[in-house]
Structure 1
């Protein structure tokens, strides 16, 4: 008997390139353990919503503009629960989540960040990487914690930074790795193979 796929929501604010990678991975074979059941955006103009509709995935918009953070998060939480969501992936979701929301989904909510955390947290990552002159960068999938970009690390992938690199060329190389890494991390999570031990994650 094939186990039921874990109902997963992807939260987006923009173009949804990582969303597309997650959808394609979930549709490639019967053995992928997660199904993208909902795509939720805080912006009605988010391009990723169209990607979801192309694949017949339910979409929802809860506008964040002008809303108090706790009220917005409570509305999202209620929607996710009403749809039977088990796992949450943040994919370019440009909102800081409240501690209450994070705690409710802790261990079931992951994010991808375009650097080798704990280096280069926050935004404008690739510009800062080039300016710092580092020789290696990459991307990180981690569990979401109340502190921005500080949750336990699940997987990382590296990308070399040549001397003539630009922010644009680094961004393109890192994004290619993101599209491979994020589906791998969701697969491990949906299979129940990730065990959080303090700030570390081990494969169970």
Structure 2
């Protein structure tokens, strides 16, 4: 059985949706695994969204561990995330050391970052085998999902993707473990692309921002594939068909495009039955 650790800051509903999807897949027998614990970098009362997540975790009966990043930052009299220019502030390293003390005795095979907004320091990367989801194809744009979408629009890209990568101290640059790709120049997006034309991204962001139809279409296409990619990656790990050590690089990336697309194609048929 695959033992999973779960790290989240839980800023919004997508964090709850991802946890729900994996929890129910495990409960339904689709994945031979268990979520051994959930760690959250916020505590009760810091955010309404996070509070809902914490209630969800407790409702599942999953062991919950919390350590407030905000409280550590406040005590240090600091601002920001404590990470700049590839270097971590001392208080930021101290926070990860505190986190490690809380989770190190709970043996897990892999730690999934799902909506976790902090870059791991080398200490955590050396001690935990972490996986993170990035909303781009291998070699594609880096940054937040919003930044990725704007870059895709700016470059008039015809394709995007999602990948699971090994967590390293270098944001979104860890070795890719599994991925899927999908087109973003399909007929149903043609009108949205035509509306954009050659308008500079700076103008599009100023005029409509994330309400831009093309932005929304690309976001929807990616979100639809996030859960299938995560579930199939975890299933592959649970079956022993994909493995690597904490410090050893993973094997060649696993292309799950075909599996993900087949599952998505089956969704309308299942819902209409």
| TM-score (ref. length: structure 1) | 0.84
Q: Distance in 1 between matches of 2:230 and 2:130?
A: 12
Q: Distance in 1 between matches of 2:253 and 2:64?
A: 33
Work out whether residues 8 and 115 of structure 2, in 8 Å CA contact, stay in contact via their aligned partners in 1: yes
What's the offset of the Cα at 1:202? 6.2
Corresponding position of 1:57: 62
Corresponding position of 1:23: 23
Corresponding position of 1:115: 136
Deviations 1:23-44 (A, max 9, x none): 1221111x62221121111123
Q: Distance in 2 between matches of 1:151 and 1:26?
A: 27
Between 1:163-172 and 1:91-100, the stretch displaced more is 163-172
Alignment of 1:29-108 (within 5 A): 29=29, 32-44=31-43, 45=47, 46=50, 47-65=52-70, 66=73, 68-105=91-128, 108=129
Corresponding position of 2:267: none
Larger relative strand fraction: 1
Unaligned runs of 5+ in 1: none
Q: Distance in 2 between matches of 1:34 and 1:199?
A: 20
Corresponding position of 1:201: 252
Work out whether residues 243 and 250 of structure 2, in 8 Å CA contact, stay in contact via their aligned partners in 1: no
Work out whether residues 178 and 253 of structure 2, in 8 Å CA contact, stay in contact via their aligned partners in 1: no
Work out whether residues 39 and 57 of structure 1, in 8 Å CA contact, stay in contact via their aligned partners in 2: yes
What's the offset of the Cα at 1:198? 4.6
Work out whether residues 152 and 200 of structure 1, in 8 Å CA contact, stay in contact via their aligned partners in 2: no
* Pair 1:13-2:64 in alignment: no
* Pair 1:145-2:168 in alignment: yes
Q: Distance in 1 between matches of 2:148 and 2:94?
A: 30
**Aligned residue pairs, count:** 196
Cα 1:192–1:41 shift into 2, 3 Å: same
What's the offset of the Cα at 1:70? 1.2
Deviations 1:75-126 (A, max 9, x none): 2212212333332100110001101210112xx2111111113211111222
Greater Rg over alpha carbons, structure: 2
Work out whether residues 194 and 201 of structure 1, in 8 Å CA contact, stay in contact via their aligned partners in 2: no
What's the offset of the Cα at 1:189? 2.4
Work out whether residues 159 and 181 of structure 2, in 8 Å CA contact, stay in contact via their aligned partners in 1: yes
